[in-house]
Every structure is written in C-alpha cells, then in structure tokens.
Amino acid sequence: MPVYVLRRLAQTLLVLFVTSALVFGGLYLVGDPVEILVNPQADQEERARTAAALGLDRPALEQYGIFLKGAFTGDLGKSFVFGRPALQVILERMPATLELAFLAMLMSLGLGIPLGLYAGLRPHGFAARTIMAGSILGFSLPTFWVGLLLIMVFAVQLGWLPSTGRGPTTELLGLQISILTWEGLRYALLPALNLALFKLSLIIRLTRAQVREQSLLDYMRFARAKGLPRRRVIGVHLLKNILIPLITVIGLELGSVIAFAVVTETIFAWPGMGKLVIDSIFQLDRPVVVAYLLVTVFMFILINLLVDLLYSLLDPRVRISEAKG
C-alpha cells in the first residue's frame, strides 16, 4: 500500500509539471498583461516600467524558467494584481469555497440518497415520478438562471434570506468559517442550494438506478426470504452495495464543486476561489491562474486517491496491488 501511494504521488508531480507548462504557455499566448494592468492614461515609459516590475519584459522561456525555479521551493510567483504570493491569495479564499462545497455536498447527499432510495423502491408511485421529473429540471436548468431565480424569490420577493455575499465569519483552527453561526449560515444557504441542485439530481438518479438494479439480485431476494426486517435489508445490504459507484461519483463531483463553483460564486458575490480565478483570467493575472490550476489538479488527484483507498475499505474484493498500481 505505501508503495502504491508513493507511486501515485510521483505521477502527480508529472501531471502538475505538464499542467503548469500548458497553462503558462496558453496564457502567454492570450495577451500581454501589461495592456490590462496599466491605467489607460499610462504612457510608453510607464508601460515599460510595469513590464519590468512584473518581469514581463523577459523572454517567455526565461519567465517560465523563473517560475519553475520558484515552484520547486513552493513559491508560485507573485500575483500581478495583488502584489502578494499567488498561493497565499488563493489559500486565503479557499475556506469560503470549501465551506460552500461542504454545505452543497451535505445537501445533495442528505436529500439525494433518501429521495433516490424512495424513488428506486417505489418506482411507479406518484411521488417517485415527481422526484424523477424534478431531478430532470435540476439537471437541465442553467445554474446562473436558477441562481438569479433563487435570489429573486427568497431575497427580493420573500425577503427571508440575504441576496448576496458571505456572512460574518468565526475562526476555527485558524480558518475563517462563516457557516458555524446562524447569521453566517443564512448567507450560505442560497448559494449552497444553487450549487447542490445539479449534484442532488445526479445523486437521486444514480441511487435510484442502483437500487433498481440491486433489488433484483439474488442476495436481496435471500435476505428477504430469510425474513430479515425490511429496514435491515435496505439499510445494510442494499445501501452498502450501492455505495461504491456513489462514492466514485461523489469523489469526482466534490472536486468539481470545489474547483468550478465559478458561476455560483459570481452570482452570489461569494468571495471564493472561483470568483478569484475568473477575475484573474480577465486581468491576465497569470501567477494566480497558474497557481489555481495547480492547486485544483493536485486536489483532484488527491481526491481520486482517497476514493481508490475507500473502495478497498468498502469492498473486500478490491485489493490495491503493490505490483501494478
């Protein structure tokens, strides 16, 4: 097992290197950050000064070389816009994104699995049909539109929840967290719901499909024939067997919820990483974009590794091979 984990981490380094080269090269081709950063009134001398101050007057390969050299010591460069280490700028925004992702995942799991179970066990009932129809809506409505609709209904019309922004934060283990207080949670509810909607639909449909499939298998029939109480059949035998595909999907979706909450964060003015990276792309703040994608890729790889390890815990038949990886 340790060898397996080590090998996976070595692969990670290679992936990170390739990502950095692609993103660096891509952004270099997009445009000249100086044009965006300087005040339009700036004359040629001021433009040259900006380029020199940010190291943009050097050839592209040299700039990348400097970046790589720094990256090996954990320094991903300074943000052009903020003048601070890019990694620091990103990590500062991370708690906001993580708590939103956590809340969204909690909502989609807490609602999705029970609803999916129900719809799978009673597939022809009216309620099940309603749930499934609802999940189609959750899939197909565009996030930005649903977000605005949620704001219009719950904030503007009903006035129950705040429309945008992040609530007051409290410190927990050195992180600024807002969802621990009711006031803070009120701010997080709408964006989390907006973010959760797609995942919720996905989990409902996946759970239902799994339940339908597994219910017909022999072990379920035996369990029932043995006279086990219904609760045990569903709660232990069925649930455990549908969890494996669910965990794969949840793992992948958790990554995407963290990395690509861009639309939700923009609409709800949620000060997370997604909003940061969008602003940074528009301003060609290359160090932040590169650092963000590296952090994201790293996170995806880590989550996948955890998912693989979880498999072996859940299903004794899955063995992690030392030899092949």
Partner 1 sequence: MRLRVLLAGLALALPLQAQELNIGLSTPVTTMDPHFHNLTPNNSIAKHIFETLVGQDDQQALKPGLAESWKALDDTTWEIKLRKNVRWHDGSPFTAEDVLATLKRIPNVPNSPASFAIYTRPIADAKATDPHTVVLQTRAPHPLLPNDLATIHIISAKMAGMGTPDYNSGKAVNGTGPYRFGEYVSGDRVVLVANDKYYGARPAFAKVRFRMITNSAARVAALLAGDVQMIEAVPTADIARLKKDARVALASTVSNRVIYLHMDSGRERNSPFVTDAAGKPMEANPLRDPRVRKAISKMIDRNAIASRIMEGEARPAGQFLPETFHGTSKRLSPEKYDPDGAKTLLAAAGYPGVFGLTLHTPNNRYINDEKIAQAVAQFLTRGGIPTKVDAMPSAVFFSRGSKLEFSFLLAGWGAGTGENSSPLRSLVATFDRSLGNGAANRGRFSDAGVDAMIHTALTTIDDTKRGLMLAAATDKALGELTGVIPLHYEVSTWGVKKGLAYKARVDQYTLAHEVRMTK
Smallest gap from Cβ 139 to partner 1, in A, equals 23
Report the C-alpha gap between 16 and 14 in whole angstroms.
5
Which is nearer to partner 1, 13 or 156 (by Cβ)? 156
Any idea what DSSP says for residue 276?
H
Smallest gap from Cβ 285 to partner 1, in A, equals 9
Which is nearer to partner 1, 86 or 238 (by Cβ)? 86
Output the six-digit token pair for 236: 């232990």
Output the six-digit token pair for 320: 């992690």
Any idea what DSSP says for residue 234?
I
* 151 Cβ contact list (under 8 Å, min separation 6): 163, 164, 190, 267, 268
Which is nearer to partner 1, 190 or 238 (by Cβ)? 190
| Residue 309 near residue 43 (C-beta atoms within 8 A) | no
Smallest gap from Cβ 3 to partner 1, in A, equals 42
Which is nearer to partner 1, 20 or 280 (by Cβ)? 280
Q: Interface with partner 1 by CB under 8 A: which residues?
A: 30-33, 35-47, 49-50, 53-54, 78, 80-84, 89, 92-93, 147-148, 151-152, 155-156, 159, 162-166, 266-269, 271, 275-276, 279, 281-284
Output the six-digit token pair for 68: 């790589």
Neighbours of 177 (CB within 10 A): 17
Which is nearer to partner 1, 3 or 36 (by Cβ)? 36
Report the C-alpha gap between 248 and 173 in whole angstroms.
29
| Residue 103 near residue 93 (C-beta atoms within 8 A) | no
Please choose, from the candidates 263, 134, 101, 147, the residue with its C-alpha nearest in 3D space to the C-alpha of residue 205: 134
Which is nearer to partner 1, 8 or 49 (by Cβ)? 49
Output the six-digit token pair for 122: 């009673």
Smallest gap from Cβ 70 to partner 1, in A, equals 14
User: How long is the chain?
Assistant: 325
Smallest gap from Cβ 48 to partner 1, in A, equals 9
Which is nearer to partner 1, 46 or 213 (by Cβ)? 46
Smallest gap from Cβ 147 to partner 1, in A, equals 8
| Residue 260 near residue 278 (C-beta atoms within 8 A) | no
